[in-house]
Amino acid sequence: MSATLHLLEDLIARPSVTPADFGCQGVIAQRLAAAGFSCEQMPFGPDDFRVDNLWAVHTGSRPGPTMVFAGHTDVVPAGPLNRWNSDPFVPSYRDGKLYGRGAADMKTSVAAMVVAAEEFVKAQPGHAGRIAFLLTSDEEGPSVDGTAKVIEALKARGEALDCCIVGEPTSVDTLGDMIKNGRRGSLSGKLTITGVQGHVAYPQLARNPIHLLAPALAELAAMHWDEGNEYFPPTTWQASNLHAGTGATNVIPGEAVLDFNFRFSTASTPESLKARVAQVLDRHELQWRIDWTLGGEPFLTPVGSLVGALVQAIQAETGVAATLSTTGGTSDGRFIAKACEQVVEFGPVNATIHKVDEHVRVDAIEPLKNIYRRTLELLLT
């Protein structure tokens, strides 16, 4: 059994459902320390939702960039166990695949990063720059006391981060076919429309907020927000929930609440999107208020040293020509990009993430580790 697979089995066997780390970071820290890394535990959060974070650094003997491997040791809940063909927290093999919760998202990447770093520093003890690890147990949850807090702490003490690979499962059909070199921003709103409650038989004595909202809702759904750009598709707006009423069929509600979300490109800003929504609501003469939540700003890493090294490493290891993409949801890359100029995401095939019988192909594990190691060689030697 390879060192990567051995570590991966250990990690999958630990039921590290957010925010529990279940000892994953302790195992990793022990290995990294043995390889010469300086390891620092950085827990944050209240006692009833303690988040474990690990910051580990190996410093070479020559000047160079700081290359960060970032990831998370937490996983989403397994769901109904009777729907799994094997225990989600017992590594199981079938048809050339390794099954278990976190196999794809993202314990394979974490294991591969660790072993890649071990191999690299053993072969290149005098490498240039620094290799760092930033691991959290709160990526699948609120994402409040994890990577975001660690980045704040690192910035406060003047840590310089130059390049970062986040081990998100980005491949689509085969290992290496896609790299995420950015992500769209996420801006959510909870819109409350105020009307006047009344009896449905006397609508002249009431103001139905659902009726009042409907024309504005149709306009928002049809709006063209921006054109996107070379790297990003156009910004999208989606309504996700609409709540109103008392539960009775003979009562006009006094208010309606609409939940919505923007996934926005660098062609728009949170401020511009908020202003355009307000213009629509005011034009329809609504009594309204919105509680806004900025889930993350968009970030983008153009082709440069990091993208070039990773593309070259993938080509050399697999023969695959990687495509750059900014599609998908948010990731911890949005926090890291605030302190690091070049941030990309790369990992195994994502077809089964968060699903029953999550798995990764066994024959993709060592190539993934080799890609990470090759990237280090290109950047730090």
pLDDT in tens, 4-19: 999 999 999 999 999 9
Residues 321, 324, 330: CA angle, nearest 5 degrees:
140
Q: Is the pLDDT of residue 1 over 90?
A: no
CATH topology of domain 3-183+298-380: Aminopeptidase (3.40.630)
Q: Is 139 a catalytic residue?
A: yes
Q: CB–CB of 301/307 below 8 Å?
A: yes
In the prediction, which pLDDT does 247 show?
Answer: 94
**φ, ψ dihedrals at 239, nearest 5°:** -80, 135
pLDDT in tens, 30-61: 999 999 999 999 999 999 999 999 999 999 99
Q: CB–CB of 146/138 below 8 Å?
A: yes
Which of 139, 145, 317, 358 is an active site residue?
139
Query: Is the entire prediction scored with pTM above 0.85?
Result: yes
Q: Calculate helix-pair angle for 24-34, 3-12, nearest 10 degrees.
A: 150
In the prediction, which pLDDT does 228 show?
Answer: 92
pLDDT in tens, 169-184: 999 999 999 999 999 9
Check whether 105 is labelled as a binding-site residue.
yes
Q: Is the pLDDT of residue 253 over 90?
A: yes
* Intervals of CATH 3.30.70.360 along the chain: 185-296
Which of 21, 74, 345, 358 is an active site residue?
74
Listed residue (107, 5, 129, 114) closest to 63, CA to CA: 129
The H-or-E segment that residue 26 falls in is: helix 24-34
* Intervals of CATH 3.40.630.10 along the chain: 3-183+298-380
pLDDT in tens, 147-167: 999 999 999 999 999 999 999
Check whether 72 is labelled as a binding-site residue.
yes
Q: CATH second-level architecture of 185-296?
A: 2-Layer Sandwich (3.30)
Residues 227, 219: Cα–Cα separation, whole Å? 18
Check whether 168 is labelled as a binding-site residue.
yes
